[in-house]
Amino acid sequence: MRLLFVDVAVLSPASTLAAGYVSVKDGVVEDVGEGEPPLELRAAELIGGGHGRLVLPGFVALVTPTLYPFRGLGLHGLSFEEALSYEEAYYAALMAFYELSVSGYPAVMAVTTRVSPVADAMEASGVSGALLVPFGPGYPKPTREDLEKAEALNESGRVRVYAMRCGGQAPQGLPAVNCMEPGRWVGSPWIELCRLGEEAALERLVESWRMLGYGAPISKGSRANLVVLDLSEPPAWSPGPVGWDWITGSTPRVEMVVADGRPVVDGGQHLYIGLSDCEKARRILSEALSRVKNAGR
């Protein structure tokens, strides 16, 4: 499948194009350049962009997705995950991935001890990314079934699973990374830009892409994890060329999100998760929310 974005501004950590194109084929950035795309790239299944559109690389959210329905309750750590059923953990993560993607995150690094439900929710939501399973004192040990599923997922390549070393011995069979602790829930990359500052945010963007094997953001051969913003009118409208400083602190209109070459959000609407999923999640998680609140009294 080929996606083509034309007559767009392109913003990446390495360069800025005031008017150009981005071509995506089979999940990879095929070409990016100024002006009109070459003739051989113009036959695409989906053509987007246009005046006032900005294409930029997708930031990678570092979150505990099962915490999403319980944000604001002061919960820390992952011990509460063990009290959730598979269905509760699945729908908590699914709703988290929904909000993250429509807000402009095509990729997620999900810190969790619940490999099966969170991996299944990631696949169902269409987002790209990885699961980080912590190993160390105070962290619940994943089940043998979860570890076997993690190894199978890494073999398939659809969802990556890493053992996160947090003072404990990582198991054999899983690639290992150092401990990364998610902060408070942040559902917006634009708030993160403002909180971290441009330099630190772009360093995190490049490092997270490197860790996930995506390549250099918006360059030939890199994985296509992209966000298209509509800046033709407020919010985030600009009278001139747009840079990272202009996006910082804004709340731009997310028109499209592409995760690993697949459109996940189009016209601001999620293409994988519908209203029926949200209603089912509400029914299932309302009881879990009450249970967690009562347990904290």
Euclidean distance between CA atoms 257 and 196, whole angstroms: 22
φ and ψ of 19, to 5 deg: -155, 115
pLDDT at 297 > cutoff 50 = no
Tokens at residue 243, please? 């840079």
- Tell me which architecture the domain covering 2-58+187-266 has in CATH: Roll (2.30)
Judge contact between 51 and 255, C-beta under 8 A: no
**What does the pLDDT look like over 242-289, one tens digit per residue?**
888 888 878 899 999 999 999 999 999 999 999 999 999 999 999 888
| pLDDT at residue 207, rounded to an integer | 94
Picking from 1, 40, 5, 19, the residue whose alpha carbon sits closest to that of residue 226 is 5
Tokens at residue 52, please? 């006032």
Picking from 166, 159, 185, the residue whose alpha carbon sits closest to that of residue 68 is 185
| pLDDT at residue 1, rounded to an integer | 85
| pLDDT at residue 195, rounded to an integer | 86
CATH of domain 60-178: 3.20.20.140
Tokens at residue 93, please? 């993560």
The mean predicted confidence, pLDDT, of the chain is: 89
**What does the pLDDT look like over 195-233, one tens digit per residue?**
888 899 999 999 999 999 999 999 999 999 999 999 999
Euclidean distance between CA atoms 147 and 159, whole angstroms: 14
Domain boundaries, the chain: 2-58+187-266, 60-178
* Cα–Cα–Cα angle for 84, 166, 285, rounded to 5 degrees: 15
Tokens at residue 272, please? 């994988």
Judge contact between 128 and 107, C-beta under 8 A: yes
Euclidean distance between CA atoms 156 and 8, whole angstroms: 34
Three-state secondary-structure class, residue 83: helix
CA distances from 46 to 6, 30, 111, 223, 253 (A): 11, 14, 33, 17, 20
| pLDDT at residue 291, rounded to an integer | 81
* Average pLDDT, integer, range 153-163: 86
Euclidean distance between CA atoms 76 and 107, whole angstroms: 23
